[in-house]
Each structure stands twice: as structure tokens, then as C-alpha cells.
Amino acid sequence: NVNNGTCYTNAEYERIEQKRRKEEAERKERERKQKEEYENKLKREAAEAEAIRQNQVIDVRTETQTREISRTVTPIKSTERERKHGPKGWISIGGSGYDYYEVQVGSSTTIKWRAEQREVKTFQSGRQEFGDWRGIREWETPG
């Protein structure tokens, strides 16, 4: 066999041809891997762009609520008196003749309130993220 003006035996020519086919196969494999890596990179970048788009905040709104945080009941007392009774009837000598005692005539209730606020973020994907409730102000009202 003659190749580029060089004479080779059949065995040498076969070795050279095998080497050339092997190099060609390796080159094609490298190109296939590069193409696959490039396509994977494009898919990854597209997925990242979609994730960023999904995580974009499209709406922020504020929610408020009023909560009762405590209720205090205070009894209203009154002092009353009653004549003392002894074993011999009315007692009046050497004493006042009256017993004084406290009686509950009612009660007053005081309610403590807190106004609270939080932010709610809505993302492009429809997911909502709720912030923590923050106290705005507190006040008391008679019940």
C-alpha cells in the first residue's frame, strides 16, 4: 500500500488505519460530551432564570388585626354593718353594737387590647410568605 508516497506493509497500514479510526472515535466522543455539557448548561441557566422569575415579588400587602391580650376583673366592694347578737340578745353595753363586713356589690372589667400588623408577600409562582405580627399600639377599655 502506498500512502502519500510512503510504502507500508499491510500490517503497518492496518495499525495506522486502526489508530486513525480510534482518534476519530475519541474526537467524536469529545464533541458529543461538549455538546451535552453545553445543552446541560443552557437547561441549568433556563431553570435558574425560571426560579428567579418564580421568586419575584408581585404584591406586598399589610394585614392588621386587633387582639384581646388580657382581661382584668376587679371586684367592687362595699362595707356594710349589722347589729351584733350575743347569747343574751342585743349587745350594746361597752361596745359599738355593730359588726362591719365587706360585701361585693359588683365588679368592673378592664380589657387590654393590642393592634398588630404584618406583611404578606405574594410571589410570581402564587406562593405567599407571611411575616411576623408586630404590635402597633396597646390600649385599655372598660368592660
Determine contact, residues 117/63, Cβ cutoff 8 Å: yes
Q: Which helix (H) or strand (E) holds 106?
A: strand 98-123
User: What confidence tens digit (pLDDT) does each residue in 98-140 have?
Assistant: 778 899 888 999 999 999 999 999 988 888 999 999 999 999 9
- Tracing cell 411576623 back to the chain, one arrives at 132
Sequence spans of domains, the chain: 2-54, 57-142
User: What confidence tens digit (pLDDT) does each residue in 1-13 have?
Assistant: 555 656 677 888 8
User: What confidence tens digit (pLDDT) does each residue in 37-63 have?
Assistant: 999 999 999 988 888 877 888 899 999
Residue 106 neighbours by CB under 8 Å, 6+ apart: 75, 76
* For residues 85-107, average pLDDT: 72
- Give the Cα separation of 122 and 41 in Å (integer): 30
Determine contact, residues 57/123, Cβ cutoff 8 Å: yes
Alpha helices in 55-98 (DSSP H): none
pTM for the model stands at 0.48
Q: Which helix (H) or strand (E) holds 33?
A: helix 10-54
Determine contact, residues 107/80, Cβ cutoff 8 Å: no
- Give the Cα separation of 68 and 73 in Å (integer): 14
For the chain, the first-to-last Cα distance in angstroms comes to: 113
- Give the Cα separation of 17 and 46 in Å (integer): 43
